[in-house]
Every structure is written in C-alpha cells, then in structure tokens.
Structure 1
C-alpha cells in the first residue's frame, strides 16, 4: 500500500509540474492563435466576421446640422457692427450607405462604390426642413472673391450684375433644405439667362450638399487584408488616384489610412491611426485620449490632436494646406476652396475649438467646448471596429473687405461660421450582444485556460509535494528506529524474565 501511495504522489507531482508549464507556454501561444483567428475574421472576403458589416453598416448613421442664425444683419450691413449669431439645431438626417459594384482584385485589394442616401429625421430634429435662418450670401461673396484681382471693368460689370437682382445683400434668409440641398439663386439665374443665349449650359442652383443625395463620391480601392492584416481597409486608390492634387506638398496630398469607419486590428494606444475624409479633401490623424466603454465593451477613445488645423508656424505639417502657397489662414482653419471650385470656404472644429482667439472673438456667440465640439472615435482595439464615432467639423466662409463693392467696402475680414455638422454612429444593442457572444465571450473563456492550467498545476504540485514529504519523513523515521535497535515492549519483558530466573537459580549463602 505504501509503494502505491508513493507512486501515485510522484505521478501527481509530475502531472502538476507539466500542467503548470503547459499553462505558462499556452499564454503566448494562445495569444498568437487568437490573433491569427482575428486577422482571418477581419479580412475582407465573404463569410468573415467583418465583411457583412463592412458591406452594409449595421449601425445607424446620422448627420446632425447646426446652423448659425445672424441676429443683427442690418446693424452689420449699415453700422459695421460685429456679427452676432445664435446656434440652431440639430437638424438630423439618417444616412444609408450600401457598397455596390464590389470587385475583388488579384493583388489583394477590393474596389467598390458607395452611394449615400440622406433622409430627414424629424424626430431627432428641433424643427422641420422648412425652418429658415439668416446667413451670408454665399454666391455674392464667392463672386466678389473670385474677381478680386481682375481688371476694373470686370468688377464694374459684376457690380452691375449684382445690382440687377433682388438678393444683392450681404445676408439672405434661407431654409435648412435650401442651405444643404440647394436653392435657385437669383444671381446664378441671371448668369444662366445670359449664357443661354450663347448656348452655354449653366446651373443656377447652389447648396453645400447639392446633388450629393443618392450619389457616391467615386470609386474606392482598399486593401482586403489577405496579405497583411496591418494594412486592412487602407485606401490604395480614390477615383483612380493614389495621391490628391489639391495641395502644395506631397505629404498633404497623401491618401492615408482607412475611411474612418474601420481600422486595422490590434490598435495600440501609441498608434496615430489616419483616415481619409473625402468630403474635406484630406487625410487626418487621431491620437489616443483615454480608455472608454461602449455598451459595456472596452474601447480606446481617439481624438484629433489639438494642432490638427494649426498654422504652419505651430504645426509645420500643415504647410501644404496653405493655398495659394504661403497664404495661410489663422490657426484653427484650413482652406478648402481649391477642392470646392474656388468658393472661399474653410474648415475648422465647431465654434473654432482650439482655434486662434481672433476667430472666436470676431463673432459674437461662439462658445467652444471640447465636451460638445471635439471629434472622437471609440475603437474596439482588437478587431479595429469603430463602435461609436462623432466626427464634427464646421464650414466657414470668408467675408472679405473689398473697396470695389459697396456691400463689403467697410467691413473687416471675418470668417463666418455657416454651419457645423456631426457625423455620428453608435453600435446597436443587437450588435453589441452579437460581438459579445461571437467574439468577446469565446476569447475571454479561452484566455482563462492558461491561468486555470497554471492554478491547477500549482495546487496539484503543492499537494503532491506535501504528500511526498510526509511519506519520506515517515519512511525516514522507521529506518531510524530500526537502526537505533530500541527494544520493544515485548523484548523488555523477556529480559526481565531472564533476570528474574537468574536471581532464582543463585545458591543460597548462609552467613
């Protein structure tokens, strides 16, 4: 029985050590296995975890518009007062985008188109699309800006054209629908009538999203991740180009990163993931800000660096966005007129957040607040999936002094905030549950296996070691007992008997 117990203890000790070592070895091996599985599941091919979500985003996407209503248009026009505005909004549109014409190329890329459909959501808006606001006369100011350096007789002809229409004013009243989707402008209509006699077609409508509903912004070609998951979803070509041609430096013209809806897997806090925003004609980066959670799922929150739109004096990387070359707006702005047909538009964060104080102070009613106006992206870092995003940007128009035109001859240059928008999305409850059940729960269970193995190994090894120690001690005590020859109780009695017998046989001596 002792030998069997001894063997069992030895076997248990060996098993415990092996289980402990196996757990230690499993930690990196299991991580490698899980990473390989993730890399496979985020590859763009039919049947993978990410393909269906990429093809047709399962999360609702909203475009929220906030407009700046001018409260004192007459005082600005006649008394040269500071423009005073009040923010109105949100006016919200739901966005549907389903990729089509998907083509898997032999070089590991995927090409596709992605039409956008905007539908007004009254339940998420403060009013109907018919709500009106007083805003700057974009067409008139664009016309003044375009001919700023032309011959004098052209300026005279332009002023005569402006005087011939009713909307010859610095500020006009337009509806939400007009500003976004377009309206018939009286100046453009006049030009159209003149050009019609010459047989030249001309569009008399203008809107910031004019003709963009139910259309796509071109042909995209991105990396599928089949060859290297580190390049997942990276844009290779946009409308056949690997580089833009709007800006003055190669760095500024680069098309970097993804489209901002998905990123490559295994995002680290030290990363600065770039994304390309076609509506704003440039690539941008985000930096890690803090840990966050979305629907109970751990994420990393990334935001734009504060100097993303800074003047090149503060951020030399922005030198290429100064157009014309070396003509840089104040910090907090970048000029997009070169990619918007020469219109004097610029982009900033809402309310000129992190911009030059001169921008904020020039308009009465600007209230920059990072908690309300900062762009952020919450990324599920293992698989690179964006679970929540709010991309917030403001469209501004330069109202420039021009002594050649009565309307603007006395005003000071000012960047007027026309509106800002928030492109937002958040994972739904159903998809959060799906992510937990199909990915997080299995991964968490699997990740516990090595530590369970280590714990079992430690317990078995410790228990077996104690058992072996006790058995060895017991065996050692027996051996010591035998070596010392210590008489037992029976032996002791026999010796006493002999002594007694010896005493009895002694002869009696009489003295």
Structure 2
C-alpha cells in the first residue's frame, strides 16, 4: 500500500509526477465538401481527414503537500506533431465551419438590431464567411484574424481571448487548472480522489448540484484493488464535468491483467432519456452535450465520434458519417491491483451548432 500512495518515498511517486507512458493525441477533421450548398439548406457532405497525431508530454509542477492529507499541483501539457504516425501534414487545408464568425453571430443573437448590423458590416468588410479554408496547423494552434481585433474593440468582453484563435491554442504549454487530490497517506480509501479543482469543491457551469459535482480522480490513476463492481470516475477540465465509466470485462494487455471500463450509453444522453443529465441542458437530441456554458458561449457540443450512441437523426443529417462501436467507442484498461492505466482510447467529437441568426447576413 505504501508504494502506491502519493508520497515522495513511494515507488510510484515519480510515475505519478511524470507519467512514463507516451500519450498520443490523434485529431481528425471533417472536411466539408459542399459548403455553398449547405448555406442553401442542403445536407453537409463531409470527408474525414486524418489522423493528425501529436505526442503529448505531461509533467506536474508546483507540487505542494498540504496538512489535510492532500497534494496540490499544476499539470502542464505540450504537444509535438508526429508526421510518421500521421496521415497528412499540418499544412493540409481543411474546409470547415468558421468558428469565430458563427460564435460571434450567436453571441449577438439577442442584442439590439444596431449591433447585429455592425457585426454584419464587419463580416462583409473583412471578407468573413460561414465556412473557412485553413491549414490543420492554423486550426489547431491559431491564426491571426482581423475579426478578433474588431470584436475586442467594439464588443469588449464578448470573447475571452486576444491574438490568435485556434482550437488547441489554449492547451499547448499550459495547465488544466490547480488540482488538489488526496494522497492516501492518512486515509488510503480516498487516494487520488479530487478534493478541489482551482480551489472549488464544485463547478458552476451547469444547472444542477449533481452535474456541478467534482467527482472521482483527476483521470490518471485510481484507487487500487478494484473489483468488477468498481467504476472509473474522474473530473475532466476539458469537458468541464465529471464522467463515470463502467466495468465491461477482464482481459490481458501485454501480459498484464486488466479491467476494461467503457462509457455507458447515458454519458451524453439528454435529460429526457436520462433525467440525471437534465442539469447539462438546454439539450438537443440525445447523445450530444451542450458545452457552450463552459466554452465562452460558443455553440459547441461534445459527443462520441460520428455521433455514435446518439439519436440516429444526428448522423443521418450529415452525409459521410458512419458511427460504429469498434472505431468510435472509448475505453480505459486499468491494472486492478494498482489502479494504474495500462491502455486507453478516449475518443470524443466536438461539433459546432450552425443556424441562421436573424439580422446577421
């Protein structure tokens, strides 16, 4: 037991501090084949591009042991592109929805008409369109856009960032918040459980106490001595919520016994299908979670890839989606004696909700 506690004298401390197993982030994009026709009301037709693979390096810093059997730390992440593992280059061009334009349009939807006209003029003057053709590198790590300067000048505080805009620009060389977790030194039953995140015992993104709870671990190690009745619960700052995976089966990974944990069908279910998720609403079809409240109001939705395990109407609304269990489900394989992950495949999809905003043209 002493060797799995979070303690500088334990055998697993260095592994906890800097995880030796290589992490890889594989990114796929949906290239929109018919953007002009989409604006006329036709179904989007997409081609999946990728994977664009990045090696993810993680290291903990500012490690501080507290008096209440907890330790606080910041975990920094850096990403390095891996051309040999990728199917394509960061210089590849992708046609996709213009997140900045569509987010700006949605954010002024309930503003006075004069502000909508001002935003429309900006779109026209700056040559902004509903779809953009950008490189993978720009989409991932950021690009200069004069619209950003315009918004920050005339609509201060509408967007929470300046400079370049990119999907992952906020993640590289940054940390995911201050975690405070139990060390298990005094109370072994609470080992790795999150005590606070950024000083908070619960978040305020959602509309129910249950959905705002910070449950489980920080998502890297779990309590040892698992049984098939165990579940894997963790708080994800990227998803702004706690998630719970359930036991599926026992197996072996490279000669090591493991328990496989998978996402239950209810993970992204809406409130009408799974009432405990009502706090994550307003919801659309079941199987996609509205994360706009924790993503500066941008109309973003989280789901399994290709809308796997979601209402079939979602995949049917887009040509080129083929949801299936083997390619699009997620799992974690855990060594049950130590609680250490041996293998994982966490697959998630981020989608942008597009609609016409009256007064914006």
Report the TM-score, using the length of structure 1 for normalisation. Answer: 0.68
Instruction: Give the corresponding residue for 1:249.
Output: 208
Instruction: Give the corresponding residue for 2:325.
Output: 370
Mapped pair 1:136 → 2:97: yes
Mapped pair 1:398 → 2:353: yes
Distance 1:244-1:106 versus aligned 2 partners, 3 A rule: same
1:380 to 327, 331, 335: 335
**Higher strand residue share:** 2
Mapped pair 1:48 → 2:10: yes
Distance 1:286-1:195 versus aligned 2 partners, 3 A rule: closer
Instruction: Give the corresponding residue for 1:170.
Output: 130
Do the aligned partners of 1:229 and 1:265 also contact (CA within 8 Å) in 2? no
Q: CA deviation at 1:48?
A: 1.5
Instruction: Give the corresponding residue for 2:195.
Output: 236
Q: CA deviation at 1:190?
A: 3.3
Q: CA deviation at 1:54?
A: 0.4
Instruction: Give the corresponding residue for 2:38.
Output: 76
Instruction: Give the corresponding residue for 1:67.
Output: 29
Distance 1:142-1:384 versus aligned 2 partners, 3 A rule: same
**Higher helix residue share:** 1
Q: CA deviation at 1:63?
A: 0.7
Q: CA deviation at 1:260?
A: 1.8
Instruction: Give the corresponding residue for 2:237.
Output: 278
Matched residues in 2 for 1:349 and 1:221: separation?
29
In structure 2, list runs of 5 or more residues that go unmatched.
none
Matched residues in 1 for 2:72 and 2:357: separation?
47
Matched residues in 1 for 2:125 and 2:91: separation?
27
Q: Which ranges of 4 or more aligned residues in structure 1 deviate by more than 3 Å? A: 189-196
Q: CA deviation at 1:218?
A: 2.0
Where do residues 42-191 of structure 1 align in structure 2 (5 Å cutoff)? Answer: 42-77=4-39, 79-167=40-128, 169-191=129-151
Instruction: Give the corresponding residue for 1:289.
Output: 248
Matched residues in 2 for 1:331 and 1:141: separation?
23
Matched residues in 2 for 1:158 and 1:103: separation?
47
Higher relative contact order (CA 8 A, sep 6+): 1
Instruction: Give the aligned CA root-mean-square deviation in angstroms.
Output: 1.7
Larger Rg, first or second structure (1 or 2): 1
Do the aligned partners of 1:301 and 1:379 also contact (CA within 8 Å) in 2? yes
Where do residues 473-492 of structure 1 align in structure 2 (5 Å cutoff)? Answer: none
Distance 1:286-1:193 versus aligned 2 partners, 3 A rule: closer
Q: 1:126-181 deviations in whole A, cap 9, x for unaligned?
A: 122111100001111111111112222221222111111122x2211011111111
- Specify the SS of the correspondent of 1:98: strand
Matched residues in 2 for 1:195 and 1:363: separation?
33
1:226 to 185, 200, 222: 185
Q: 1:415-465 deviations in whole A, cap 9, x for unaligned?
A: xxxxxxxxxxxxxxxxxxxxxxxxxxxxxxxxxxxxxxxxxxxxxxxxxxx
Matched residues in 1 for 2:360 and 2:177: separation?
39
Matched residues in 2 for 1:106 and 1:391: separation?
34
- Specify the SS of the correspondent of 1:75: helix
Do the aligned partners of 1:166 and 1:186 also contact (CA within 8 Å) in 2? no
Do the aligned partners of 1:286 and 1:302 also contact (CA within 8 Å) in 2? yes
- Size of the alignment, in residue pairs? 358
Q: CA deviation at 1:193?
A: 6.3
Matched residues in 2 for 1:115 and 1:269: separation?
33
Where do residues 433-472 of structure 1 align in structure 2 (5 Å cutoff)? Answer: none
Instruction: Give the corresponding residue for 1:356.
Output: 311
Matched residues in 1 for 2:230 and 2:295: separation?
32
Instruction: Give the corresponding residue for 1:469.
Output: none
- Specify the SS of the correspondent of 2:175: coil
Do the aligned partners of 2:218 and 2:234 also contact (CA within 8 Å) in 1? yes
Q: CA deviation at 1:192?
A: 5.0
